[in-house]
Chains A and B, each alone.
Chain A
Amino acid sequence: NAGVTQTPKFQVLKTGQSMTLQCAQDMNHNSMYWYRQDPGMGLRLIYYSASEGTTDKGEVPNGYNVSRLNKREFSLRLESAAPSQTSVYFCASSERFQGSTDTQYFGPGTRLTVL
């Protein structure tokens, strides 16, 4: 039981390049989330998927797109990377989307640097 897995662990991009961060969970959870973590700011929600087939914007969605490929997988895409997107990205999942009450389980993170 791997929990939440993320690939890649590290990535360096040049400004304007695109890439997709992958996330998968094997806990049969309905809801999945993408956060970014910046120093001194905690975690901020980028997008979430309450259930398979739905996605919604979070607090900081600009510059990102997401795809809920199936119940297990939720990807985050940067179409044209900018230095302001240098951050650590975490994927999380929860059994259902109660949001405020559900325990979220986090992946190990992807450290992205945009030059």
Chain B
Amino acid sequence: AQSVTQPDIHITVSEGASLELRCNYSYGATPYLFWYVQSPGQGLQLLLKYFSGDTLVQGIKGFEAEFKRSQSSFNLRKPSVHWSDAAEYFCAVGMFSGGYNKLIFGAGTRLAVHP
């Protein structure tokens, strides 16, 4: 069955440290890949997306993600985290399932940033 896994429910990093959030998917074809961020009390905002081409994609707020087909992964990275990055991060995969194209979301990773 198609699925999206974010192995880390909570991550805590210090401000200025690097960050990597993991995302793995299960899907037989080439997926379309997204990372969204949800700040407390807010809706989801698109950070970046991958459809094709260069497997390293740049997004807003200094985030980047790398698609690795062999590992079925699309991990999100940031070299230096800011306190304002504290939020919940969702990986989503676009796929054809159940008769229509849809987005499948992971369960999310909540990021806390220590000063």
Which residues does A use to contact B, with CB under 8 Å?
4, 40-45, 56, 58-59, 90, 92, 97-101, 103-109
Contact = CB atoms under 8 A, between A and B. Distances in A.
Interface of B: 4, 9, 31-32, 34, 36, 41-46, 49, 51, 90, 92, 94-96, 98, 100-103, 105-108
B103 A45 contact: yes
A45 B104 CA distance: 9
Majority secondary structure, B binding face: strand
Contacts of A108: 41-43
Given A40-B9, A40-B107, A41-B107, A101 B101 contact: yes
Contacts, number: 62
Contact of B45 (A44, A45, A106, A109): A106
A4 B96 CA distance: 25
Q: Which of A4, A42, A106 has the most C-beta atoms of chain B within 10 angstroms of its own C-beta?
A: A42
